[in-house]
């Protein structure tokens, strides 16, 4: 695995973990970011969490396929 693919896999893992945490526990992230306790904030955090989780899946899949295809 090249350095670029390793960095991509690391970013994928981090964004996937942060996204899943934000998606499942938006109150935890809301308190950490000191956002107001509103219904719209919860919706926005869940949308952001799903976007980060999708980024992690996309990058992780791309790094895996590139490694299996012999790009490394």
Residue bearing tokens 């938006």? 26
* pTM of the entire predicted model: 0.85
Token couple for 16: 């996937």
By the 8 A CB rule, do 7 and 55 touch?
no
> Domain residues of the chain, as ranges?
3-68
By the 8 A CB rule, do 55 and 15 touch?
yes
C-alpha angle 64/48/5, rounded to 5°?
20
pLDDT digits (tens, 9 = 90+) for 3-57: 888 899 999 999 999 999 999 999 999 999 999 999 999 999 999 999 999 999 9
C-alpha angle 26/29/33, rounded to 5°?
135
């Amino acid at each position: 695995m090249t350095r670029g693919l390793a960095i991509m896999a690391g970013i994928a893992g981090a964004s996937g973990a942060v996204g899943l945490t934000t998606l499942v526990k938006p109150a935890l992230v809301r308190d950490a970011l000191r956002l107001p306790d509103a219904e719209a904030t919860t919706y926005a955090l869940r949308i952001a969490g799903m976007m980060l989780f999708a980024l992690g899946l996309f990058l992780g899949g791309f790094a895996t396929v590139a490694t299996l295809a012999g790009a490394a």
